[in-house]
């Protein structure tokens, strides 16, 4: 009997790669962010996506966050990440509620 190829340390000698049934798709398994991000930003600029979002009518009115300067209180720490994540979540929540959301970053 032919010995099967080992893929992991849990079960030596067994090749589980043939047992995983993944769909066949043209969608890349890699993000390729270094290449894709400029393409996405060019699309947003050429199609004026952000401007169109700001122009759409909203019965609930506007919601604006004026964010302070980044890292104003010393070295970068987890509180900075929490701050940015919470502000992003609040903006997305307000947008989903129907507000016209605008995020304005600030510096000294």
DSSP 16-59: GGGT--PPP-SS-SS--HHHHHHHHHHHHHHHTHHHHHHHS--T
Say what the pTM is: 0.55
Residue 7: pLDDT over 50: no
| Radius of gyration, alpha carbons of the chain | 23
Residue 54: pLDDT over 90: no
pLDDT at 9: 54
Quick check: helix, strand or coil at residue 96?
helix
Give the chain's mean pLDDT: 82
* Tokens encoding 89: 């979540």
Q: What are the pLDDT digits (tens) for 56-70?
A: 888 899 999 888 877
With beta carbons less than 8 A apart as the criterion, state whether 51 and 71 touch: no
């Amino acid at each position: 009997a032919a010995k099967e190829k080992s893929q992991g340390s849990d079960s030596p000698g067994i090749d589980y790669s043939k047992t995983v049934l993944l769909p066949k798709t043209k969608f890349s398994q890699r993000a390729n962010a270094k290449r894709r991000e400029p393409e996405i930003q060019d699309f947003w600029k050429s199609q004026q996506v952000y401007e169109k979002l700001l122009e759409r009518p909203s019965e609930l009115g506007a919601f604006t966050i004026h964010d302070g300067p980044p890292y104003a209180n010393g070295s970068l720490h987890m509180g900075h990440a929490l701050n940015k994540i919470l502000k992003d979540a609040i903006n997305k929540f307000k947008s989903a509620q129907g507000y016209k959301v605008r995020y304005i970053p600030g510096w000294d």
